[in-house]
Structures are given as structure tokens and as C-alpha cells.
């Protein structure tokens, strides 16, 4: 009796997390029957956990399939955390519901199909959550920025080829001027975009979205303008770096506003992808113009190759001129002529 009671107490304490209730029975035979059923159920649950996660209790993966499974689980966890952070925490409940639904269903795509599904989910959910007019006009708004970035890279390459004499379609001064104009247009459009992002918060305040915040929201609306317009006084590269930092800072502000409920729940995700496109364009412009800059390693390598080709082409001619110079012939044509008539010589007075 004492052993049976101790066993029942031990199993009840150990299986409390399993939420297995032991009925209140009085007879010894009934107790033994209940304990046997509980023990079998515990072993069954343990076997299910091991089948669901064969790596349970192991320090590392023991096969390639287990490694892929662990990687997929980690990628899914990181993806969920990133999505929740980008959305200002508004996706947390949806993610938990999706995970519980998947677990309840017990099935779903695996391997590459699951990874592809996870990769498409972010863009697909944003397209569904964001109003279509906002998505359309927001995408159209970044087209000029991406276009000026591509034009800057193309003109930087053009200037590089002209300086090497490999492109005769324009002179070096024209190529440099066009490159500077493209960069100035990109910087100016970036300042306009930053100002517009601030004006959106004034619109939310006018419509009393999330309540009346007053000066706090008006200050948030002015901050992007204060960050963006002074960059137009800087050189193009420094201006682009400053605007990149400004776009990132303004997105963090919009993220906090989404978390606080001052803007729609989809706004931070919408702003994240637009900021990602603008930031990528800025980085591409800086990388491309620096790659083709006159002092860059790539440009110096091209100049060195051109000089080497010229030396190889002119080498035999220069060697021939050196040999003639050593023999007293400076490379000119020696002519023998006779001068007729009397020759007069006048002393110069020098001894």
C-alpha cells in the first residue's frame, strides 16, 4: 500500500505538465489499474515527442536530414520574429494561430516547398493587408529613385570608358556633368520623399487617427524634413549617405508609431519595404560610382592595362630610335647635297 501510494504520488507530480488527472479511487485494484493506464499514456506521449523531434535530448544533429530539419525550424523561428518586429508586433497573434493550426493539421509542405512558402508569405501578406491604391502609388513613387540610381551607375561607367579613350560618343566633361546631374536629381528627390513621409503624420493628426496627439505628432512630421533638406548642401556622395541614415531613422519612428497605434497596423511593414528599395538604390549608387571613380582600384587597373598595351605596341619603334641615337643618327633622314658658288666665312670673334 505504501509503495503504491508513493508511486502514485511520484507519477502525479512528474506528469502534472502533461495535464493527466488521476481519478480518486479507493480500491487497491482500481488504483493499480489507473496507475498502469497513466504509465502507458506517459510512455505513449514520450514516444510521440521523440517521433516529432528525433533530435530531442541530443546535443547536435546526427544526420543530414536532421540538420536540414533543425535549419528549417530555426529559419521559421527567425522569420516569424523578423516579421513580428517589422510589423510592430501586430503579427504575433497571427503567427501563433498559424503555428497552432499547422500543428493541429499535422501536415504541410516540407523541404524546399516549405522554405519557398515562407519566403513568399511576407510579400503576399503585405500585398493583402495594404490597401491597393497605397501599394500602387508607393511603388510608383520609388521608380524615379531607382531610375536615377541606375542612371548614375551607367554614367559613371560611361565617364570611365571615355577617360580611357574606349568610348568616343561624348567627351569627358560632358560625361562628368551628366553624372553630377543624375546624382543631384537623386538627392533632390530623396529630400522630397523624406518631406512627404513626415507630412503623412500630419494627415493622421488632422484625421485624429489613434486620438489627438498634438505637438508630438506634428514634431514627428517635421523631423524627416529637418533630416532631409540639409543634405542638399553636401556633395552627392555625402548627401546620399546622410539620406540613407535619415530613411532608416524615419522607418524606426514609423515602427514605434505603429506599435503605439498612431498609424494603421500595416503601415510599418509597408514602409519597411519601400525603405528597403530606397536604401538599396542608395547603396547601389555609392558602390557603382566608387567602383568607376578615377582613383578606384578598378580604374587604376584599367589604366595600367591600357599603358601596358601601349608599351607593347610602341616598344619596337622606340628601341629602333634608341639604336639610331646611339650611332649619332637622331632618326632624321641624312641628305648629301653640293652647294655651288663662292663661300664666305665671317669670324664671330670667339677664339
pTM for the whole thing? 0.56
Q: Residue 222: its pLDDT value, please?
A: 96
pLDDT, tens digit only, all 351 positions of the chain = 445 554 555 445 444 444 444 445 455 555 566 566 656 665 555 555 554 455 444 545 566 666 667 666 666 665 666 566 666 665 544 444 444 444 444 444 555 566 556 556 655 666 677 888 998 999 999 998 899 999 999 999 998 888 888 888 888 888 889 999 999 999 999 999 999 999 999 999 999 998 999 999 999 999 999 999 999 999 999 999 999 999 999 999 999 999 999 999 899 889 999 999 999 999 999 999 999 887 655 444 555 555 566 666 666 777 777 777 766 655 555 555 666 666 676 766 655
Residue 288, CB half-sphere, CA atoms under 13 Å: how many? 21
Cβ-Cβ contacts under 8 Å for 91 (sequence gap 6 or more): 83, 84
Rg of the chain (C-alpha set)? 39
Q: How far apart are CA 279 and CA 273, in angstroms?
A: 10
Q: Residue 25: its pLDDT value, please?
A: 47
Q: Residue 167: its pLDDT value, please?
A: 80
Q: What residues does each domain of the chain span?
A: 2-49, 71-129, 132-293
Q: Residue 130: its pLDDT value, please?
A: 83
Contact status, residue 210 vs residue 256, Cβ threshold 8 Å: no
Report the candidate in 83, 78, 73 with the shortest Cα–Cα distance to residue 121: 83
Report the candidate in 155, 156, 152 with the shortest Cα–Cα distance to residue 292: 156
Q: Residue 17: its pLDDT value, please?
A: 43
Q: Residue 187: its pLDDT value, please?
A: 95
Q: Residue 189: its pLDDT value, please?
A: 94
The conformation of residue 263, written as its DSSP 8-state character, comes to: S
Q: Residue 173: its pLDDT value, please?
A: 87
Alpha helices in the chain (DSSP H): 2-14, 28-52, 64-86, 92-105, 112-129, 132-163, 172-206, 215-228, 236-260, 267-291, 297-326
Amino acid at each position: 500500500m505504501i509503495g503504491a501510494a508513493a508511486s502514485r504520488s511520484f507519477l502525479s507530480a512528474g506528469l502534472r505538465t502533461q495535464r493527466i488527472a488521476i481519478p480518486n479511487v479507493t480500491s487497491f485494484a482500481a488504483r493499480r489499474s489507473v496507475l498502469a493506464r497513466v504509465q502507458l499514456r506517459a510512455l505513449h506521449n514520450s514516444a510521440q515527442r521523440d517521433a516529432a523531434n528525433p533530435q530531442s535530448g541530443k546535443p547536435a544533429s546526427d544526420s543530414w536530414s536532421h540538420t536540414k530539419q533543425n535549419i528549417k525550424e530555426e529559419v521559421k523561428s527567425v522569420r516569424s520574429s523578423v516579421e513580428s518586429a517589422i510589423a510592430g508586433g501586430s503579427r504575433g497573434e497571427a503567427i501563433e494561430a498559424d503555428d497552432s493550426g499547422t500543428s493541429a493539421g499535422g501536415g504541410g509542405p516540407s523541404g524546399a516547398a516549405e522554405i519557398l512558402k515562407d519566403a513568399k508569405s511576407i510579400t503576399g501578406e503585405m500585398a493583402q493587408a495594404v490597401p491597393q491604391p497605397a501599394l500602387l502609388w508607393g511603388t510608383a513613387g520609388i521608380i524615379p529613385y531607382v531610375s536615377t540610381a541606375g542612371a548614375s551607375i551607367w554614367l559613371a561607367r560611361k565617364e570611365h570608358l571615355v577617360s580611357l579613350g574606349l568610348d568616343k560618343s561624348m567627351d569627358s566633361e560632358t560625361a562628368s556633368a551628366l553624372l553630377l546631374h543624375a546624382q543631384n536629381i537623386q538627392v533632390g528627390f530623396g529630400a522630397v520623399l523624406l518631406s512627404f513621409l513626415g507630412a503623412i503624420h500630419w494627415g493622421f493628426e488632422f484625421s485624429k487617427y489613434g486620438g489627438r496627439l498634438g505637438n508630438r505628432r506634428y514634431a514627428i512630421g517635421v523631423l524627416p524634413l529637418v533630416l532631409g533638406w540639409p543634405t542638399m548642401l553636401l556633395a552627392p556622395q555625402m548627401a546620399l549617405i546622410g539620406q540613407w541614415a535619415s530613411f532608416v531613422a524615419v522607418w524606426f519612428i514609423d515602427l514605434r508609431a505603429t506599435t503605439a497605434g498612431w498609424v494603421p497596423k500595416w503601415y510599418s511593414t509597408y514602409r519597411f519595404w519601400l525603405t528597403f528599395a530606397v536604401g538599396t538604390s542608395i547603396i547601389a549608387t555609392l558602390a557603382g560610382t566608387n567602383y568607376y571613380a578615377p582613383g578606384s582600384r578598378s580604374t587604376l587597373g584599367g589604366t595600367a592595362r591600357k599603358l601596358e598595351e601601349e608599351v607593347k605596341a610602341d616598344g619596337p619603334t622606340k628601341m629602333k630610335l634608341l639604336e639610331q641615337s646611339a650611332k649619332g643618327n637622331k632618326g632624321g633622314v641624312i641628305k648629301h647635297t653640293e652647294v655651288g658658288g663662292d663661300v664666305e666665312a665671317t669670324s664671330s670673334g670667339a677664339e
